[in-house]
Amino acid sequence: MKRLSRRPVSDEQKAQMGNQIHEQGAIEVFMSVATVSPLLRTRVLPQLKDQQDQLKDKKQDRRPKPEPEKLESGAQGDAGSASSTSAHAVKLLPIEGDPAKLKALTSRQQIASLLNHLGDGAEGDGEAKQIVMELLGSGVQPHSAIERVSEQLLHVLREQTLMEAGIFVGNERYRFFKGVLQNYAKIYAARKFIDKLPKLDQLGPDAGAERELFARVVAEEVLQIPQLLRQLRSSLSKMEFFNEDTAFKAYLEVRYHPQARILCELMLTRISRVFLCIVGSPFFLYFTEHELTHILRNCYLSVNSEIEIFLSVVLWLEHNWLERGDCAERILAEVHFALMPTWYLCTLDRSNRCNHFARVIHSPGVQRLIAAGLEDAITLKSKPRFSGAALHRQRKHQEERLLVRDWIVDTECSHHHKSHCEQFVYPTYDAFKEYLARIICCAPNCWRTFRPAQEVYRRDFRCCSLPHFN
């Protein structure tokens, strides 16, 4: 709370001011908060300067030689002097004009004087001044979807901000513009956050509910409004417009935000058909162990085979083996080796000629994972040995351990063919990197050509049907 002016007032002046307020009624000044888009100060400052010159001329006509007043120096310094001068000019204005306009004009002058002396040299002070200058003269209705979301954010803080605009205590006037700047600086930061995310205009005209929900997310993650936490958690699962590449872009923007843990984990679970495109991007190589583990636990990853999941982890480990070698066993524990073909698990150590690949699979912990996966794969392919309740418990245990991925078919994937097919290519580590190179060349919409395996496998892969013998 900063004091702008302090001046003794006589009993006669108090009575005169009380009668004037009683006759005219209470006048409230609300700052315009229609939009938070950047506004050049040159559009507002000339108008304020002209208004100040007019008031100055009128004051000189009334009092040609006014005596200078001595004011107490407060925390605001020169700002308090400017504010008191503007307030004194209001008393000398003719009352035949519109009182509301005169009051609003004076308040704007006071705010302009404050902005000229508020936190000189402070970091980020220019943006805060620009925000408040816009609030004084902004009347443009929002047109874009991002501006409409910003307007919803303003409704959250509008009442709180207006309550902090100013207050009279006895003979002293205090203004809480520091709180106003803090609130709108938060909204300005939230707007920057929104601008970096995917454009909401692509949602179409019937996406009002999604925009409102997205405003809640920004309010919780950026503005940190605790009252919206319960609504946020209950509605995160309904954010259906955050899927595939949109979810990954959103994740990249908020992954380092300290308050965005829930949003980050949600975006990672929305990655499905775009997974192979992410593996081919440089972002994948810089994932942390926690991030990669969270992705691998997603059963909706769209891949041609679990072999691609395994080779993706090998690629991530190769990028920085000195630091990531210790976590190889922990990461590969999230790979479902039992979903791989048994012939691959038996031959992967002999068919790959890559030194890094051999370094990964020959570690004792990884060897145990491969052996356990081979045992489970054989068990899944063999006939059940139990019946009744025992068989039900066995299948339930296997389903809990192995969540099947979202199998897709990429007709250009050579290692997707079965081993007896003429077009089959053994999925070595080098062949997998060549496949990623082709995906990179077809980016960014290569993932849109992937189709569910159950729909097209028998039709498009007739070459992989069982051979017929005469």
Q: Which of 377, 359, 379 is nearest to 367 (CA)?
A: 359
Give domain status of residue 129, yes or no.
Answer: yes
How many Å apart are CA 305 and CA 77, to the nearest integer? Answer: 71
Q: What are phi and psi of 407, to 5 degrees?
A: -65, 135
Q: How many residues does the chain have?
A: 470
Domain range for 114: 2-10+23-151+171-187
For residue 73, give the 3-state DSSP assignment: coil
Would you state the structure tokens that stand for residue 167, as one six-digit string? Answer: 């207050």
Amino acid at 96: E
- In order along the chain (470 residues), what is the average pLDDT of each group of 10 residues? 47 56 39 32 45 55 44 34 36 45 51 41 41 42 47 48 44 48 53 50 51 55 46 48 70 71 74 86 90 87 90 94 93 92 89 88 92 88 60 55 76 74 85 89 77 68 53
How many Å apart are CA 188 and CA 186, to the nearest integer? Answer: 5
Q: Which residues of 448-462 are buried (b: 16+ CB within 10 A; e: fewer)?
A: eebbebeeeeeeebe
Give domain status of residue 79, yes or no.
Answer: yes
Give domain status of residue 120, yes or no.
Answer: yes
pLDDT at 412: 76
How many Å apart are CA 84 and CA 102, to the nearest integer? Answer: 16
pLDDT at 92: 36
- Report CA torsion sign: 436, 440, 442, 446: positive
pLDDT at 411: 75
Give domain status of residue 54, yes or no.
Answer: yes
How many Å apart are CA 74 and CA 7, to the nearest integer? Answer: 12
How many Å apart are CA 343 and CA 350, to the nearest integer? Answer: 12
Give domain status of residue 114, yes or no.
Answer: yes
pLDDT at 390: 59
pLDDT at 336: 92
Give domain status of residue 35, yes or no.
Answer: yes
DSSP state of 25: -
Burial class (CB in 10 A: 0-12, 13-18, 19+), 467: exposed
How many Å apart are CA 93 and CA 102, to the nearest integer? Answer: 8
Give domain status of residue 275, yes or no.
Answer: no
pLDDT at 249: 76
For residue 168, give the 3-state DSSP assignment: strand
User: CA 334 → CA 30, 253, 287, 402, 407, distances in Å?
Assistant: 57, 26, 15, 10, 17
Residues facing 46 on adjacent strands: none
pTM here is 0.50
Q: Which of 65, 9, 32 is nearest to 138 (CA)?
A: 32
Domain count of the chain? 1
Give domain status of residue 469, yes or no.
Answer: no
For residue 419, give the 3-state DSSP assignment: coil
